[in-house]
């Protein structure tokens, strides 16, 4: 009897070892594809910065940066929040064997979001006409089209990432980054070296990626899906999850674009171009690198949290969140130190020489990006627990603080003031989210 018990224990231990080994191999494979996709995206972006800064002077590059603030609005306030909701409810829909209803609800929400964006285009164009800024109309329309297409890509990638199809997501991440800058550079050399043409290139690249996304996505949709069971329920749940993100997303957008517009107001469009290069080399790669961990953990968080009604599952997600935040801060510290020592060499490698005067700001921009990413890793934990509403107050107040800091920084110290404002904003956001997470 004792011998039989020992054999049973040994058998269970051996089975546990096999299961852990299989899980480790699966997660390692997923991690490889995520790192590959993000690495392709980062390298493509860095090479793209080099290409575009060679083809566009700082003034034209500044116009491009201002035009892209329109795309940021759509991402932060419309299609971006919807993408979060779509990704969050994939796991519960699959658990309840109701993917068809879920997919129909996604289609209806995307259609509504597109209609809202079209109305927004008309409002922005009317505002530019009233302000006698007709030169920006073409840039704004092109940026809106690019934003809509990119939003569609983000939603499809979100579903595929939630389905743990890491290789497909990685393929399209790398493809989008490289295609965007290569096609833009080609149009700039072939037609005209203007900011509008660069954004048109971005939109063309988004169309190509969207076509590929659709082909791969159609393969994961079962042919016998009807989607008539809970269409209204899924639509309501995704809407309830997404609308708080959309509300504070508008304030986040104000903070994100106020740096460029404040510089344009108190300085010159050339300074906007210089700042945009620092942002792309510092803040953007930092968010991309830390996004590797975010992309890897998001579907894991959502799968483990389920419908967020199990306290044991929630505690497990909390522990993962602490590890992710610590990893983000560690990566930020290393990046800050390396860029502080080698910022001149980094600029000589990745941008044209006309932009070298702002290389000393690179470490601080990396710090700002890393602190914000750490705050976002905490917000992922709160989203896993369906607590998007409690994030509204800190998101809105810190965003308004960021707007004030950007205006004051641009007025007092120009480009340097904007970068320091970014550090202060990101630090305040991270600290508030950390306190909120501990209390909740």
pLDDT per residue over 63-85, tens digit each? 777 777 777 778 777 887 888 88
Tell me the mean pLDDT in the region 291-300.
Answer: 65
Q: What is the pLDDT of residue 129?
A: 84
Distances (CA, A) of 218 to 103, 162, 209, 223: 12, 15, 14, 9
In the 8-state DSSP scheme, what is residue 415?
Answer: H
| Percent of the chain whose pLDDT exceeds 90 | 8
Between 314 and 10, residue with greater pLDDT: 314
SS3 assignment, position 174 = helix
In the 8-state DSSP scheme, what is residue 351?
Answer: S
Tell me the mean pLDDT in the region 26-50.
Answer: 65
Pick the closest to residue 361 from 350, 346, 374 (CA basis): 346
Q: What is the pLDDT of residue 239?
A: 82
CA 295 to CA 35: how far, in whole Å?
10
User: Does 14 have pLDDT greater than 50?
Assistant: no
Widest CA span in the chain: 91
Pick the closest to residue 294 from 369, 367, 386, 377 (CA basis): 377
C-beta atoms surrounding 137 within 10 Å = 16
User: Does 4 have pLDDT greater than 80?
Assistant: no
Phi/psi at 308 (5° precision): 65, 25
Q: How confident is the model at residue 299 (pLDDT cuts 50, 70, 90)?
A: low
Q: Got the DSSP string for 285-332?
A: HHHHHHHHHHHHHHHHHHHHHTTS--HHHHHHHHHHHHHHHHHHHHHH
Q: What is the pLDDT of residue 9?
A: 47
Question: For the segment 317-373, what is each residue's pLDDT rounded down to a tens digit?
Answer: 777 778 778 888 888 898 899 989 988 888 888 777 777 888 899 999 999 988 988
Tell me the mean pLDDT in the region 198-208.
Answer: 86
Q: What is the pLDDT of residue 406?
A: 92
Averaged pLDDT score across all residues of the chain: 78
Between 388 and 156, residue with greater pLDDT: 156
User: Does 261 have pLDDT greater than 90?
Assistant: no
CA 269 to CA 227: how far, in whole Å?
51
Q: What is the pLDDT of residue 44?
A: 66
Tokens of 230: 């809970």
Q: What is the pLDDT of residue 298?
A: 65
Lowest-pLDDT choice from 83-92, 189-198, 292-301? 292-301
pTM of the model: 0.65
User: Does 120 have pLDDT greater than 50?
Assistant: yes
Between 184 and 318, residue with greater pLDDT: 184
Pick the closest to residue 282 from 339, 352, 348 (CA basis): 339
CA 123 to CA 400: how far, in whole Å?
23
Pick the closest to residue 73 from 123, 111, 38, 37 (CA basis): 123
Q: What is the pLDDT of residue 407?
A: 93
Tell me the mean pLDDT in the region 207-225.
Answer: 77
Instruction: Note whether 77 and 250 are within 8 A (CB).
Output: yes
* Angle, vertex CA 302, rays to CA 299 and CA 305, nearest 5: 145
Tell me the mean pLDDT in the region 305-323.
Answer: 69
Q: What is the CA radius of gyration of the chain?
A: 23
Q: What is the pLDDT of residue 232?
A: 55
Most confident of the ranges 225-229, 265-269, 419-423: 419-423
Tokens of 134: 């007709």
Q: How confident is the model at residue 386 (pLDDT cuts 50, 70, 90)?
A: low
CA 302 to CA 95: how far, in whole Å?
12
């Amino acid at each position: 009897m004792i011998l039989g018990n020992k054999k049973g224990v040994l058998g269970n231990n051996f089975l546990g070892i096999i299961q852990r080994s299989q899980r480790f191999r699966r997660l390692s494979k997923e991690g490889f594809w995520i790192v590959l996709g993000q690495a392709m995206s980062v390298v493509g972006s860095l090479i793209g910065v080099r290409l575009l800064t060679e083809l566009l002077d700082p003034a034209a590059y500044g116009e491009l940066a201002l035009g892209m603030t329109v795309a940021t609005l759509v991402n932060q306030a419309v299609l971006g929040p919807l993408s979060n909701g779509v990704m969050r409810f994939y796991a519960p829909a699959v658990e309840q064997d109701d993917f068809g209803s879920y997919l129909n609800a996604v289609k209806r929400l995307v259609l509504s979001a597109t209609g809202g964006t079209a109305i927004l285009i008309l409002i922005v164009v009317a505002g530019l006409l009233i302000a006698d800024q007709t030169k920006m109309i073409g840039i704004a329309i092109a940026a809106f089209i690019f934003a809509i297409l990119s939003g569609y890509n983000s939603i499809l990638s979100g579903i595929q990432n939630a389905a743990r199809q890491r290789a497909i997501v990685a393929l399209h991440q790398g493809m989008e980054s490289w295609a965007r800058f290569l096609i833009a550079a080609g149009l700039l050399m072939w037609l005209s070296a203007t900011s509008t043409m660069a954004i048109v290139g971005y939109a063309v690249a988004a169309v190509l990626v969207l076509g590929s996304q659709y082909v791969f996505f159609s393969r994961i949709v079962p042919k016998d899906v009807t989607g008539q069971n809970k269409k209204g329920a899924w639509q309501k749940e995704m809407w309830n999850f997404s609308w708080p993100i959309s509300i504070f997303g508008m304030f986040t957008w104000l903070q994100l674009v106020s740096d460029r517009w404040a510089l344009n107001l108190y300085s010159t469009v050339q300074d906007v171009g210089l700042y945009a290069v620092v942002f792309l080399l510092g803040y953007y790669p930092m968010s991309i690198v830390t996004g590797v961990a975010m992309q890897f953990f998001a579907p894991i968080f959502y799968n483990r949290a389920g419908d967020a009604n199990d306290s044991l599952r929630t505690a497990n997600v909390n522990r993962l969140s602490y590890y992710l935040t610590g990893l983000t801060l560690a990566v930020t510290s290393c990046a800050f130190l390396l860029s502080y020592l080698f910022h001149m060499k980094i600029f000589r490698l990745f941008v044209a020489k006309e932009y070298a005067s702002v290389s000393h700001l690179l470490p601080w921009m990396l710090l700002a990006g890393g602190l914000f990413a750490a705050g976002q890793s905490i917000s992922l934990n709160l989203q896993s627990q369906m607590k998007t509403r409690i994030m509204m107050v800190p998101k809105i107040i810190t965003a308004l603080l960021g707007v004030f800091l950007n205006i004051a920084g641009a007025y007092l110290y120009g480009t340097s003031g904007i970068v320091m404002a970014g550090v202060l904003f990101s630090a305040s956001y991270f600290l508030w989210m950390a306190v909120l997470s501990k209390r909740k």
